[in-house]
């Protein structure tokens, strides 16, 4: 889109009740392990030059269908998110492009465990709609695939006949419903 043809202009904040951040990683070479974070905050500012996205999730809000002890001692432990010492994951975009076909692409800085690395992400956005209460809403879904070792999450166990118990590539997905602020 050109500088004058953005699909919408304004400042938007996440509707926390309708937003999530998930990760997915291959487990034992046979399935995908998925988990999500419930406490998601985000803001998007769109002007005639493009979009800027900032988001954060609380690591202690991870919701997993396994026992709490697994969540607290493994996923939130030092081998993975180390939630006690690093309670947030943050993303700050450097460049987000909204295309006419409702796709988006962007670059930004992802911080996990206090380590900040550049990532490239892509996804989609929805056109503005008016909700029953008169607010303007849109949504974005954005994905990136990262190597968890870049954030010192390098735990591994070899399988007896070869291969790794846990994949190194992790797919991150943010589904964020956004509400326009003021006019």
Contact status, residue 98 vs residue 105, Cβ threshold 8 Å: no
pLDDT in tens, 126-147: 999 999 999 999 999 999 999 9
pTM of the predicted model, to two decimals? 0.89
What DSSP state is assigned to residue 141?
A: E
Query: Which contiguous run of DSSP H or E holds residue 70?
Result: helix 68-70
| Rounded Cα–Cα distance for residues 36 and 169 (Å) | 17
> Which tens digits make up the pLDDT trace of 28-85?
999 999 988 888 899 999 888 878 888 888 877 676 666 677 777 788 889 999 888 9
What is the SS3 string spanning 16-47?
A: HHHCEEEEEEEECCCEEEEEEECCEEEEEEEE
Q: Which of 117, 105, 103 is nearest to 149 (CA)?
A: 117
Q: Decide which of 3.40.50.300, 2.40.128.110, 3.40.1010.10, 3.40.50.1980 is the CATH code for 10-181.
A: 2.40.128.110
Which of 6-10, 85-89, 99-103, 120-124 shows the lowest per-residue confidence on average (mean pLDDT)? 6-10
pLDDT of res. 136:
96
Residue 174: name the closest of 99, 135, 128, 124 by CA: 124
Q: What percent of the chain has pLDDT over 70?
A: 93
pLDDT for residue 183 is more than 70: no
- CA dist 80 and 65 (Å) reads 17
Tokens of 76: 């939130």
Mean of all residue pLDDT scores within the chain:
90
How far apart CA 103 and CA 139 sit, in angstroms, is 12
Local structure of 4: helix, strand or coil: coil
Q: What's the rounded mean pLDDT across residues 6-18? A: 91
State the CB neighbour count (10 A cutoff) for residue 14. 23
- DSSP label at residue 158: B
């Amino acid at each position: 889109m050109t500088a004058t043809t953005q699909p919408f202009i304004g400042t938007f904040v996440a509707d926390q009740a309708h937003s999530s951040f998930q990760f997915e990683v291959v487990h034992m070479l046979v399935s995908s392990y998925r988990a999500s974070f419930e406490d998601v905050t985000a803001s998007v500012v769109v002007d005639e030059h493009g979009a800027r996205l900032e988001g954060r999730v609380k690591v202690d809000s991870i919701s997993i269908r396994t026992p709490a002890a697994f969540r607290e001692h493994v996923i939130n432990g030092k081998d993975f998110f180390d939630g006690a010492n690093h309670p947030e994951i943050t993303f700050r975009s450097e460049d987000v492009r909204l295309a006419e076909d409702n796709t988006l692409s962007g670059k930004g800085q992802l911080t996990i465990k206090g380590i900040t690395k550049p990532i490239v992400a892509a996804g989609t956005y929805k056109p503005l709609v008016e909700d029953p209460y008169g607010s303007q809403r849109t949504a974005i879904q954005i994905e990136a695939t990262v190597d968890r070792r870049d954030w010192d999450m390098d735990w591994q166990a070899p399988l007896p006949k070869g291969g790794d118990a846990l994949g190194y590539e992790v797919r991150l997905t943010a589904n964020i419903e956004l509400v326009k602020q003021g006019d």
